[in-house]
A and B are shown apart, each in its own frame.
Chain A
Amino acid sequence: MSHTGIRAAAVVLASAAVLTSVTGCGSGSGGDGKSFTYWSMWTENEPQAAVLKSAIKSFEKDTGVKVNVQWQGRTVMEKLAPTLTTGKVPDLVDQSDDKLYPTLVQSKRAKNLSHLFDKPATGEKKKLSQVLKMGYMSYLRDQPDGSGNKWLVPYEVTSVNLWYDASDKDVRPPKTWDELLDICAALKKKDRACIAADGDQPVYILWWLDYLADRIGGDGVMKKAITDPSGKGWDHPAVKKAAGMVKELVDKGYLLDGYDASKYPEQQNRWAQGKAAFNLNGSWLPTETEKFAEKGFDYKAAPFPSATEAKGGKRNATDVRLFGFAVPKQAKNAGAAEKFISYFLAKKRLSGIADKAGNITPRPDIEAPSLLRDAQRQMESTPSREQLPGSVTSYTDKVLYPAYKDLFFGHASPDRFLAKVKKLHTSYGEGRN
């Protein structure tokens, strides 16, 4: 190599070194317990962020511990993943349980938080496990080592219910599936739609099948269908029956027209305008649709109707989703982060999630905002279940939605739906090498 060549190589290497050092820079934390870093799932202007912000302010004043908060927004887990190998992890994160699980728990990087439940929240007397409804956490997936250690401390909870307008004289909450069909038939006679659904939201329309299979076959039917690699879970008679019942809704024309070709949130807004009676949706629905609701709209939530011979019965679980804190195993200031968790879970602070952010908390002693009181009562009085248990985003994308859409949009019979879902289930399994 000539001198020029060597010099050139040196320049290249030097430039590369400069570039990598620039891209690789970051700030390390001392681990002295006097401060901790919190990456939040909220963006700064959201009401939950405001509640957390005021708690952080008083926490800093009361304890002298500095909180470095970063409002990362919903992609907080995507941002967390690359830090998990670097040792520059935040000390505290929050998200919904299904998003926390793959990144933090399945990868065995979540700290055990069980001990926080055995002591009271800051300034209180009863243990945290006595003031939270612990039943909510029963559906959570276990640590990979099967230890049963808790990896999440929930501060907000949502549910899926059958929403309706109580001021509408043609509508009443159906206790059973047959009653729902009766109400729909009566509405149809008056030329009114019974059910509104945003068909471009996979999970929103899948809830119908998921809940029905659960009501008919009990807990575990959908979980087996989704997670059993052989695909035999889809052969369960309860799934087929549920698919048939969904098809009946479609065939009888009980769905608000346009559900198969609209862009979310068009159909839920039309529901709030009184165009349809029911909307199977999350407890976030009132907040989302309030602006569009017609005057006097009285939000009420009914449990998903029973569909077994024994009316009501045991199969009355409610779809629940928890949002809460988790601490990565490598967090240097885990102690300080845990201190904040205990501090925030105290009734005095957590009430803000209900009063100011308009959501339900996992503490029964904090009353939900009036629009959500029904939903809260149902969740507290029924077992909790996970929606589409065991499913992940790619499974919904590649198996559930492409097959189920055909059924829900009226293009396929239950048999054809099941054949397609099994076929996609198999190819999905093969693709997971």
Chain B
Amino acid sequence: MAVLTAGMRRSAPSSLPEAAQPRDTPLARRRRRLFWPFVAPALAFLTVFYLGPLLFGIWTSFHRWDGYAPMEWNGLGSYRALLSDPFFRTSMLNTFKILVFVGAAVFVIAFALTMVLRDMAGKKFVRAVIFFPHIVNAMVFGVLAGFMFNPNGLVNTALSALGVDDPPKWLGSDTIFPLIMATMVCTSTGFYVAILMAAVDNIPHYLYEDAELAGAGAFRKFWHITLPLSWDVVGVCAVLWTISSVKVFELVLVFGGTSTTSGPSIETWTSALYIYRNAFTGTDIPQFGTVCAAGIVSLVLVAVFTVLLRRLMRRDPVEF
């Protein structure tokens, strides 16, 4: 996308007065000549691997298609089918739960940790430790879930040693999704701490000292200094989180699912999982029309959400 906007920006100067246009300078001409050779390969990749499949996906969503027989026109049939599928709604709702609730938790904790770590001795080491879960493959946590949360697992054994006789059914239908969300908070926070820390480290120390002299507490320092001065980075983090939360897949797959063919229980599906389970069906004929429609619907929703988020977070950058 950056490539495209760069292209657009180049055409913008045409509205400038004739004298200000850099059109005729030899440098500008050479630049112009080099524009396409540099952009073309990336554009070709983008077209072949993203734009093409996306257009094909939109096209397929208006058809009935099992992947090998010729496509049959289906109009909005697939979209209507999605509406009548209660589990599509569940999957979308789960994705939004992750987006909003896990996102909120991640950011609150990340900010809190950032505040604590800012003045801490050995903060680089601590940051590395907090970051570590992020580089561990999500599969590991899924596999660990059984070991930890089975009725006779580590957690319940520890709880019974502490005298808790009736521990919750961790992997039961009602608790497994909150458990997955909690795991996500643990694995994602470190990543955002690292990014926010980098932004916070750039804030001049004297601002904090000044605030301290003025009698500001930790929260006021955060509200009036840290947040406004790292706002740009927070905005980028919010978009990064939005995109990554929509793609949540493997953690749910292995957390609730098992090594056999049956996947996780449908109540834990996210939109990505909905698409996967409907496309790679095991003993069913795939319904790629519906699958593509589901993909398009979630793409549109995410795009809308991201645009709104960017609008909401738009501020003039503070120079310092």
B33 — which chain A residues lie within 8 A by C-beta? Answer: 4
Contact residues of B between 72 and 92, Cβ < 8 Å to A: 74, 77-78, 80-82, 84-87
Q: Are B283 and A8 in contact (CB under 8 A)?
A: no
If the complex has contacts A11-B37, A99-B283, are A201 and B152 also in contact, measured as CB distance less than 8 A? Answer: no
Does any Cβ of B come within 8 Å of A313's Cβ?
A: no
Chain A residue nearest in CB terms to B286: A81
If the complex has contacts A8-B40, A98-B283, A433-B64, are A260 and B258 also in contact, measured as CB distance less than 8 A? Answer: no
Does any Cβ of B come within 8 Å of A200's Cβ?
A: yes
Q: Are B85 and A427 in contact (CB under 8 A)?
A: yes
Q: Are A393 and B283 in contact (CB under 8 A)?
A: yes
Q: Are B260 and A264 in contact (CB under 8 A)?
A: yes
Contact-size category for A: 35 or more
A430 — which chain B residues lie within 8 A by C-beta? Answer: 81, 84
Tell me the smallest distance from the CB of A433 to a CB of chain B, in Å: 4
Q: Are A393 and B282 in contact (CB under 8 A)?
A: yes
Q: Are A392 and B283 in contact (CB under 8 A)?
A: yes
If the complex has contacts A201-B260, A260-B169, A431-B84, are A405 and B265 also in contact, measured as CB distance less than 8 A? Answer: yes
At the interface with chain A, which of B17-25, B116-124, B228-236, B273-281?
A: B273-281
Contact-size category for B: 35 or more
Q: Are B171 and A262 in contact (CB under 8 A)?
A: yes
Q: Are B258 and A20 in contact (CB under 8 A)?
A: no
Q: Which one of B36, B37, B282 has the highest number of Cβ atoms from chain A below 10 Å of its Cβ?
A: B282
- The 8 Å CB contact of A263, one of B67, B68, B69, B171, is B171
A432 — which chain B residues lie within 8 A by C-beta? Answer: 81, 287
Contact with A along B286-302 (1 / 0, CB 8 A): 11011000000000000
A262 — which chain B residues lie within 8 A by C-beta? Answer: 146, 150-151, 171
B74 — which chain A residues lie within 8 A by C-beta? Answer: 433
Q: Which one of A394, A427, A428 has the highest number of Cβ atoms from chain B below 10 Å of its Cβ?
A: A394
Does any Cβ of B come within 8 Å of A357's Cβ?
A: no
Chain A residue nearest in CB terms to B170: A261
Does any Cβ of A come within 8 Å of B261's Cβ?
A: yes
Contact residues of A between 17 and 55, Cβ < 8 Å to B: 19-20
Interface of A, secondary structure class, is helix
Q: Are B44 and A19 in contact (CB under 8 A)?
A: yes
Q: Are B171 and A101 in contact (CB under 8 A)?
A: no
Q: Are A84 and B261 in contact (CB under 8 A)?
A: no
Q: Are A402 and B85 in contact (CB under 8 A)?
A: no
Chain B residue nearest in CB terms to A391: B283
Roughly how many angstroms separate A179 CA and B278 CA in the complex, as a whole number?
A: 42
- The 8 Å CB contact of B48, one of A16, A82, A107, A395, is A16
Contact residues of B between 229 and 261, Cβ < 8 Å to A: 256, 258-261
B40 — which chain A residues lie within 8 A by C-beta? Answer: 8, 11-12, 15
Roughly how many angstroms separate A427 CA and B90 CA in the complex, as a whole number?
A: 14
B152 — which chain A residues lie within 8 A by C-beta? Answer: 258, 266, 270
Roughly how many angstroms separate A243 CA and B261 CA in the complex, as a whole number?
A: 25
Chain A residue nearest in CB terms to B156: A258
B266 — which chain A residues lie within 8 A by C-beta? Answer: 397-398, 401-402
Q: Are B261 and A393 in contact (CB under 8 A)?
A: yes
Chain A residue nearest in CB terms to B172: A261
A15 — which chain B residues lie within 8 A by C-beta? Answer: 40-41, 44-45
Tell me the smallest distance from the CB of B3 to a CB of chain A, in Å: 12
A396 — which chain B residues lie within 8 A by C-beta? Answer: 262
Q: Which one of B36, B47, B145, B290 has the highest number of Cβ atoms from chain A below 10 Å of its Cβ?
A: B36
Chain B residue nearest in CB terms to A397: B266
Does any Cβ of A come within 8 Å of B133's Cβ?
A: no
Q: Which one of A5, A74, A81, A109 has the highest number of Cβ atoms from chain B below 10 Å of its Cβ?
A: A81
B282 — which chain A residues lie within 8 A by C-beta? Answer: 99, 392-393
- The 8 Å CB contact of B36, one of A11, A392, A405, A433, is A11
Tell me the smallest distance from the CB of B178 to a CB of chain A, in Å: 13
Does any Cβ of A come within 8 Å of B263's Cβ?
A: yes
Q: Which one of B262, B277, B280 has the highest number of Cβ atoms from chain A below 10 Å of its Cβ?
A: B262
Q: Are B256 and A4 in contact (CB under 8 A)?
A: no
A109 — which chain B residues lie within 8 A by C-beta? Answer: 68
Chain A residue nearest in CB terms to B67: A81
Roughly how many angstroms separate A261 CA and B172 CA in the complex, as a whole number?
A: 4
- The 8 Å CB contact of A107, one of B262, B278, B285, is B285
Roughly how many angstroms separate A427 CA and B84 CA in the complex, as a whole number?
A: 6
A428 — which chain B residues lie within 8 A by C-beta? Answer: 85
Q: Are B68 and A81 in contact (CB under 8 A)?
A: yes
Contact residues of B between 47 and 63, Cβ < 8 Å to A: 47-48
Does any Cβ of A come within 8 Å of B173's Cβ?
A: yes
If the complex has contacts A99-B282, A203-B262, are A19 and B45 also in contact, measured as CB distance less than 8 A? Answer: yes
Roughly how many angstroms separate A220 CA and B82 CA in the complex, as a whole number?
A: 31
Does any Cβ of B come within 8 Å of A202's Cβ?
A: yes
Roughly how many angstroms separate A102 CA and B287 CA in the complex, as a whole number?
A: 12
Q: Are B285 and A106 in contact (CB under 8 A)?
A: yes
Mark A residues whose CB is within 8 Å of B: 4-5, 7-8, 11-12, 15-16, 19-20, 74-75, 78, 81-82, 84-85, 98-99, 101-103, 106-107, 109, 200-203, 257-258, 260-266, 270, 391-398, 401-402, 405, 409, 424, 427-428, 430-433
Q: List 8 A-B contacts (CB under 8 A).
A: A11-B37, A262-B146, A263-B171, A266-B146, A266-B151, A266-B152, A427-B85, A432-B81
- Contacts beyond the supplied A84-B68, A393-B281: 11 A-B pairs with Cβ under 8 Å: A11-B44, A19-B48, A258-B150, A260-B173, A261-B172, A263-B258, A264-B260, A393-B283, A402-B267, A405-B265, A431-B290
Closest 9 CB pairs of A and B: A258-B151, A8-B36, A261-B169, A263-B146, A15-B44, A261-B172, A392-B284, A393-B282, A11-B40
